[in-house]
């Protein structure tokens, strides 16, 4: 069932760019891929540990915030 939404022209430009980058066949597929590509903060602790040896998982996660909390 198709739905029409209003978005700012700059958002449409970003969506078109993401569609190309993800090689998606539709905007719906693009949105699904972009939203499913996010990595939870908890999973980043193992990745960051190799750059900050000697730190505990709790210490690593203490300074991390979700993207929506950065601004």
The pLDDT score that the predictor gives to residue 23 is 92
The pLDDT score that the predictor gives to residue 33 is 87
For the purposes of burial, counting CB atoms within 10 Å of the CB of 24, is it exposed (0-12), middle (13-18) or buried (19 or more)?
Answer: middle
The pLDDT score that the predictor gives to residue 40 is 60
The pLDDT score that the predictor gives to residue 36 is 80
Please write the tens of the pLDDT for every residue from 7-54.
999 999 999 999 999 899 999 999 988 888 665 655 666 666 666 666
The pLDDT score that the predictor gives to residue 48 is 64
Q: What is each CA distance from 69 to 12, 18, 63, 64, 65, in whole angstroms? A: 24, 23, 12, 10, 6
For the question of whether the overall pTM of this predicted structure is more than 0.75, the answer is no
């Amino acid at each position: 069932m198709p739905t029409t939404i209003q978005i700012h022209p700059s958002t449409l430009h970003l969506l078109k760019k993401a569609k190309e980058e993800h090689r998606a066949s539709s905007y719906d597929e693009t949105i699904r891929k972009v939203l499913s590509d996010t990595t939870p903060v908890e999973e980043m602790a193992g990745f960051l540990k190799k750059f900050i040896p000697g730190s505990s998982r709790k210490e690593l996660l203490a300074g991390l915030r979700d993207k929506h909390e950065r601004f």
